[in-house]
Amino acid sequence: MIQNYFVVCRRARGDQLPSCSIELISALAENHARLALRCEVTSDDVVAIIRLYEESLCYLYGYTITRPPSLEFKDIDKIDDHMMIFEKWLNNYLKSLISDTDREE
């Protein structure tokens, strides 16, 4: 998922995405897993980090064609619901901008 996100972002944002982003996102996902006391990175770790990274890119450079769902919620108990909505958006975003030859599962 990280590589697909990187490919899509490079297409959508061009030079706004540093080439070291893939390593940075991977390292952050590994550290997120460690904070959760896990030895292996899960898709939840990756989605959480991509959420933060996407928010940062949008803040710095503005939104791309497809705007991610907003992070406005009042109840911390709803974070899981929000992350599921974001993951669904992310999967649709990746599918819409990546060709089958670029896809890496």
Residue 10, C-beta contacts closer than 8 angstroms, at least 6 positions apart: 17
pLDDT digits (tens, 9 = 90+) for 58-97: 788 876 656 666 666 666 677 788 888 888 988 888 888 7
State the residue for tokens 């769902």.
69
State residue 102's pLDDT score.
53
> Rounded to whole angstroms, how far apart are CA atoms 92 and 25?
20
State residue 34's pLDDT score.
95
Closest by CA position to 50, among listed 7, 6, 13: 6
State residue 78's pLDDT score.
73
pLDDT digits (tens, 9 = 90+) for 1-17: 888 888 888 887 777 77
